[in-house]
């Protein structure tokens, strides 16, 4: 990346990150809603001691990924409309910084900041596992599980939550997004409605969890799917590629919109 | 009269096509799910529940999200606060418009379902209106109060999404636990015909009115609360 592209990207990421991290509502909404996470049957303290460490860690990552991205996606939906409301594009378009770098910076900065409270909640479970098992491997395993299971799903959700409100009314997008979460992640195909849950395009991270962290039958996922290492890698690649595609199309759309003004 | 019509027309234009179409689209989508379930061999009773879910979960939750947005969606809020028409009056009008329109969609749906020979709940057509009215009132009140409390629309929307997820995933627990029953917004979808249903509906409406009143009193006492919020 050339300096003229990199520098605005880094600047936008930095400011978006700080701006989003300081919002009290991000922390309050995430923490309160995450109380649901602790009511399940697959929390770190629900497993017998003979369960493999990797299974406990990966299961905790999947549990966090079942609920937290809903709040995450809803919170990110106001980032582009906020700029429009404050007439920031008019100001920023007058600067030499490329709009693509700004959009990418907005995406990474706000996504990483909104994921921070989720990571804190996830980390609390990993610390519990560490204290309970006295096995320092819980920490690197926990970080690897977050990177493989949670992060691709969060980046996928963030891409759509940041860009879709460019064409959809924010409450409508938020509604459709939560509806999608039920339909595309938690709904069993046996219900009689065609669904993409149990496919690679499920940001829940079931394939990564089952593929990388256990034998297929050891992870109890929300959608009941299982997977191999290759399926796990395929699912991550598909989620990340979809996120990049969404950002790319949104960037083209925003440029077209700008050219029409 | 003309003046009232004028503001209805103006506010309807402000909410826009997306706002007005939202409850309609939700009902069409859930009815489509119901038809799809029928086509896949699911029983009529179970597929009618898709329409119940559309009214009770879909339309009501969307109203909560819209209410959270309406509370602070005026980009000229600062200017508005200096006008003779108080902001809480404008907010109440917008809320009334949204509720009125959503109610119309709810009533039409219950009547259409009855006309095609199905029942949304084992009660009279009049009482069936409580299927959508109770969660609608409650979610709208919650949306307004949370926006003022958090001073953030998206924060309030995230909390509503959390309530939605929690009550859907733990629907059976809410239905079976006595102290949780008054707070169960989706009682018809999960436990239609249970003895606590009518009480639950009335309690939810009371909570909605209480939250709505609280939001209006809050805006009266501190009209500038939304200035400088998180957006």
CB within 8 Å: A179 and B150: no
Give φ, ψ of A214 to 5 degrees.
Answer: -165, 175
Partner B contacted by A172 (CB < 8 A): yes
Compute the count of residue pairs across chains A and B with CB atoms less than 8 Å apart: 114
Locate A61 and state its tokens: 């990552």
Of residues A132, A116, A251, A144, the one with CA closest to residue A208:
A144
Supply φ then ψ for residue B72, to 5 degrees.
-140, 35
pLDDT for A183: 85
Closest by Cβ to A23, choosing from B169, B170, B230? B230
Decide: helix, strand or coil at residue B113. Answer: helix
Q: Please count the structural domains in chain A.
A: 1
Q: Residues A95-116: pLDDT tens digits?
A: 777 888 999 999 999 999 999 9
| Residues of B with Cβ-Cβ distance to A20 under 8 angstroms | none
What mean pLDDT comes out for the span B152-168?
A: 91
Of the residues B162, B167, B180, B226, the best mutation for testing chain A's interface (the one with the most A CB atoms within 10 Å of its CB) is B162
Segments forming the whole domain that contains residue A122: 3-260
Angle separating helix axes A138-145 and A206-213, nearest 10 degrees: 140
In degrees, to the nearest 5, what angle opens at C-alpha A168 toward C-alphas A167 and A171? 155
pLDDT confidence tier of residue A210, bands split at 50, 70 and 90:
confident
- More confident site: B109 or B79: B109
Mean pLDDT, range A7-14, rounded to an integer: 91
Q: Establish if A75 touches chain B: CB-CB under 8 angstroms.
A: yes
pLDDT of residue A218 exceeding 90: no
Restricting to B residues 103-132, those with a Cβ less than 8 Å away from any Cβ of A are none
Q: Is the pLDDT of residue B1 over 70?
A: no
Q: What is the mean pLDDT of chain A?
A: 87
Cβ contact (<8 Å) for B40 and A192? Answer: yes
pLDDT of residue A111: 97
Nearest chain B residue to A38, by CA: B166
The distance of A136 to chain B (nearest Cα, Å) reads: 33
Domain spans, chain B: 2-226
A26 touches chain B (CB under 8 A): yes
Mean pLDDT of chain B: 85
Is pLDDT larger for residue B188 or for residue B72? B188
Of A5, A160, A24, A19, the C-alpha closest to A86 is A19
Residue A33 has pLDDT above 90, yes or no: no
Across residues B187-210, what is the average pLDDT?
92
What whole-number distance in Å separates Cα of residue A207 and Cα of residue A221?
9
- In degrees and rounded to multiples of 5, residue A223 shows phi and psi of -100, 5
Q: Which residues on chain A are in Cβ contact (under 8 Å) with B230?
A: 23-25
Q: Output the six-digit token pair for A204.
A: 């829940």
Residue A223 — pLDDT band, cuts 50, 70, 90? low
User: What six digits make up the tokens of B171?
Assistant: 């629907």
Give the pLDDT of residue A200.
84
* B48 at A interface, C-beta within 8 A: no
Closest to A75 (Cα-Cα) out of A173, A156, A147, A222: A173
pLDDT at B72: 61
Tokens of residue B203, six digits: 């309690």
Which residues touch B47 (CB under 8 Å, ≥6 apart)? A192, B34, B35, B37, B38
ipTM: 0.86
User: With 0-12 CB in 10 A as exposed, 13-18 as middle and 19+ as buried, what is B92?
Assistant: middle
Q: Which of A67, A82, A170 sits opposite B165 (nearest CB)?
A: A67
Residue A68 pLDDT greater than 80, yes or no: yes
Check residue A225 and give its pLDDT. Answer: 57
At A207, is the pLDDT very low, low, confident or very high (cuts 50, 70, 90)? Answer: confident
Question: What's the CA dihedral at A124, B184, B96, B129 to 10 degrees?
Answer: 150
Q: Is the CB of A258 inside 8 Å of chain B's CB atoms?
A: no
Please state the rounded mean pLDDT for residues A237-242: 95
Residue A219 pLDDT: 58
Instruction: Tell me, yes or no, if B60 comes closer than 8 A to chain A by beta carbon.
Output: no
Name residue, tokens 């700080």: A18
The DSSP 8-state label assigned to residue A148 in this structure reads: I
Number of H helices, E strands in chain A: 11, 0
Q: Is A116 exposed, middle or buried (0-12, 13-18, 19+ CB in 10 A)?
A: middle
> Which of A23, A27, A29 best tests the B interface by mutation, with the highest count of B CBs <10 A?
A29
pLDDT at A117 over 80: yes
Asked whether residue A177 carries a pLDDT value surpassing 60, the answer given is yes
> Which of B33, B135, B143, B155 is most worth mutating to test chain A (most A CB atoms within 10 A of its CB)?
B155
pLDDT, tens only, B34-86: 888 888 877 887 888 889 999 999 999 999 988 888 766 555 566 665 665 67
Residues B132, B125 contacting (CB under 8 angstroms):
no
Instruction: Average the pLDDT over each of A206-210, A225-229, B162-166 and give the range with the smallest value.
Output: A225-229
| pLDDT over 90 percentage in chain B | 40
| Nearest CA-CA partner of B139 in B202, B220, B59 | B59
Give the per-residue pLDDT at A109: 96
Interface residue A49 vs chain B (CB under 8 A):
no
**Contact B12/A at CB under 8 A:** no
- Looking at residue A28, its pLDDT comes to 94
Q: Is residue A153 over pLDDT 60?
A: yes
Q: Which helix (H) or strand (E) segment is A72 a member of? A: helix A53-76
The reply to whether residue B75 touches residue A85, judged by beta carbons under 8 angstroms, is: yes
């Amino acid at each position: 990346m050339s300096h003229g592209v990199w520098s605005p990207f880094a600047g936008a990421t930095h400011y978006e990150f700080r701006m989003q991290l300081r919002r009290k509502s991000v922390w309050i909404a995430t923490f309160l809603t995450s109380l649901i996470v602790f009511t399940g049957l697959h929390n770190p303290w629900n497993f017998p001691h003979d369960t493999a460490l990797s299974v406990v860690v990966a299961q905790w990552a999947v549990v966090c990924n079942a609920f937290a991205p809903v709040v995450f996606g809803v919170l990110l939906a106001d980032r582009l409309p906020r700029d429009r409301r404050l007439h920031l594009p008019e100001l920023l378009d007058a600067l030499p910084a490329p709009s693509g770098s700004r959009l990418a910076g907005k995406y990474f900065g706000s996504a990483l900041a909104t994921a921070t409270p989720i990571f804190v909640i996830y980390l609390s479970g990993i610390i519990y596992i560490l204290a309970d098992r006295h096995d320092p491997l819980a920490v690197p395993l926990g970080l690897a599980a977050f990177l493989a299971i949670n992060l691709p799903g969060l980046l996928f959700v963030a891409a759509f939550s940041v860009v879709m409100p460019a064409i959809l009314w924010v409450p409508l997008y938020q509604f459709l997004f939560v509806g999608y979460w039920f339909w595309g992640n938690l709904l069993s195909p046996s219900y009689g409605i065609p669904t993409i849950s149990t496919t690679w395009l499920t940001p829940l991270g079931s394939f990564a969890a089952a593929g990388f962290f256990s034998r297929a039958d050891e992870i109890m996922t929300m959608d009941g799917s299982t997977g191999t290492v290759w399926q796990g890698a395929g699912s991550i690649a598909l989620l990340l590629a979809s996120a990049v595609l969404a950002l790319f199309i949104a960037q083209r759309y925003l440029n077209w919109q700008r050219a029409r003004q | 009269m003309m003046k009232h019509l004028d503001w209805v027309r103006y506010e309807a234009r402000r909410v826009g096509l997306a706002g007005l179409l939202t409850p309609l689209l939700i009902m069409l989508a859930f009815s489509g799910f119901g038809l799809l379930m029928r086509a896949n061999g699911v029983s009529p009773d179970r597929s009618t529940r898709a329409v119940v879910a559309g009214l009770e979960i879909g339309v009501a939750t969307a109203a909560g999200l819209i209410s959270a947005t309406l509370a602070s969606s005026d980009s000229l809020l600062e200017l508005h606060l200096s006008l003779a028409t108080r902001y809480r009056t404008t907010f109440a009008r917008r809320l009334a418009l949204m509720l009125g329109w959503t109610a119309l969609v709810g009533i039409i749906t219950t009547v259409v379902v009855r006309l095609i020979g199905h029942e949304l709940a084992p009660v009279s057509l009049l009482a069936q209106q409580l299927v959508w009215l109770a969660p609608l009132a409650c979610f709208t009140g919650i949306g307004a109060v949370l926006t003022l409390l958090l001073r953030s629309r998206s924060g309030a929307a995230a909390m509503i999404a959390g309530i939605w997820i929690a009550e859907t995933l733990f629907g059976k627990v809410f239905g079976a636990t006595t102290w949780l029953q008054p707070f169960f917004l989706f009682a018809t979808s999960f436990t239609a015909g249970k003895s606590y249903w009518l009480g639950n509906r009335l309690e939810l409406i009371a909570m909605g009115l209480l939250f709505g009143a609280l939001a209006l009193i809050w805006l009266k006492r501190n009209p500038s609360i939304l200035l400088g919020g998180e957006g």
